[in-house]
Amino acid sequence: MKLATLACLSVLAASGLTSCNKSSVFSSSSSRTDWTVNDKRTITKKVNGLTRKLDTKTDVKMGQGKITSFPAGALVKLEESGSATPRVAELRENGGSLELWVQENGAFRRGTADEETWLVGFLKDVIGD
């Protein structure tokens, strides 16, 4: 049995969680993990010291580098470290669309046009095709 599967089963047994799914892809300088535990999904991609992480619930659907559907009140948490401009951001549902909010000095503010451009690249990289 794979080590990741054993770890997942151990977590399930210890915490009473009902479902766990993990997929991983590794190469010499990069890795991508995609965890689903109960209704929370976490995707982490690491390449050459750059780490990007996306956390959301499983009712947020993704494909082809985009978020394709989401319920009212959806929240997608984004983190980037190891870059020249590390970021913590959120996509928040408002009126049927997702708005980018970026953390700055401990508080969130609406994303700028440059940050919206960053978001497109972030989603393509983390979600993939």
What CA–CA distance (Å, rounded) separates 77 from 84?
20
* Residue 85 and residue 72 in contact, taking contact as beta carbons nearer than 8 Å: no
Model confidence pLDDT, tens digit, residues 28-41 = 579 999 999 999 99
76: exposed, middle or buried (Cβ count in 10 Å: 0-12, 13-18, 19+): buried
pLDDT at position 122: 98
Amino acid at the residue 62: M
What gap in Å lies between CA 67 and CA 118, rounded to an integer? 15
Q: Give the three-class secondary structure for 30.
A: strand
Domains of the chain by residue range = 25-127
pLDDT in tens, 62-120: 999 999 999 999 999 999 999 999 999 999 999 999 999 999 999 999 999 999 999 99
Q: Could you tell me the pLDDT band of residue 60, with boundaries at 50, 70 and 90?
A: very high
Task: Examine the pLDDT at 126 and tell me if it is beyond 70.
Answer: yes
> Is the pTM higher than 0.85?
no
DSSP per residue over 67-114, as a string? EEE--TT-EEEEEEESSSS-EEEEEEEETTEEEEEEEETTEEEE--HH
35 contacts 57 by C-beta, under 8 angstroms: no
